Amino acid sequence: MYSKIAGTGSYLPEKILTNRDLEGFMETSDAWIRERTGIERRHVAAEGQGTVDLAEPAARRAIEAAGLAPRDIDLIVFATCTPDYVFPNAGTLLQQRLGCPGGAAFSVEAACSGFIYALSIADKFVRAGEAKHALVVGAEVLSRVTDWSDRGTAILFADGAGAVVLNASAQPGVLSTHLHADGSHRELLFCPGGPGARSGLPAAPAPGFIHMEGREVFKIAVMELGRVVDEALAANRLDRSALDWLVPHQANLRIIQGAARKLDLPMERVIVTVQDHGNTSAASVPLALDAGVRDGRIKRGELLLLEAFGAGFTWGAALVRY
* Active site residue ranges: 112, 249, 279
Strands 303-310 and 245-248: parallel
Residue 269 touches ligand COA, criterion: CB under 6 A: no
Phi, psi of 290 (to 5 degrees): -65, -40
Residue 294 touches ligand COA, criterion: CB under 6 A: no
DSSP state of 279: B
CA distances from 197 to 191, 192, 211 (A): 11, 8, 16
Shortest distance, position 16 Cβ to ligand COA, whole Å: 18
> Judged by CB under 6 A, how many residues of this single chain contact ligand COA?
19
- Select from 29-37, 72-80, 259-267, 314-322 the region that touches ligand COA (CB under 6 A): 29-37
Signed CA dihedral, 133, 134, 138, 144: sign only: positive
Helix (H), strand (E) counts: the chain: 10, 13
Residue 32 touches ligand COA, criterion: CB under 6 A: yes
Residue 312 touches ligand COA, criterion: CB under 6 A: no
Out of 15, 124, 151, 186, point to the residue binding ligand COA (CB under 6 A).
151
Kindly give, in sequence order, each residue whose CB lies less than 8 Å from that of residue 9, ignoring residues fewer than 6 positions away. Answer: 57, 58, 59, 60, 61, 62, 63, 64, 65, 162, 163, 164, 290
Out of 215, 266, 296, 301, point to the residue binding ligand COA (CB under 6 A).
215
Cβ neighbourhood burial of 86 (10 Å; 0-12, 13-18, 19+): exposed
36 vs 144, which CB is nearer to ligand COA? 36
What is the contact mask toward ligand COA in residues 273 to 292, using x (rule: CB under 6 A)? Answer: ------x-------------
Residue 155 touches ligand COA, criterion: CB under 6 A: yes
* Residue with smallest beta-carbon separation from ligand COA: 214
Q: How far is residue 150 CA from its own chain's centroid?
A: 23
Name the site residues for ligand COA (rule: CB under 6 A). 28, 32, 36-37, 112, 151-152, 155, 212, 214-215, 217-218, 221, 251-252, 279, 309-310
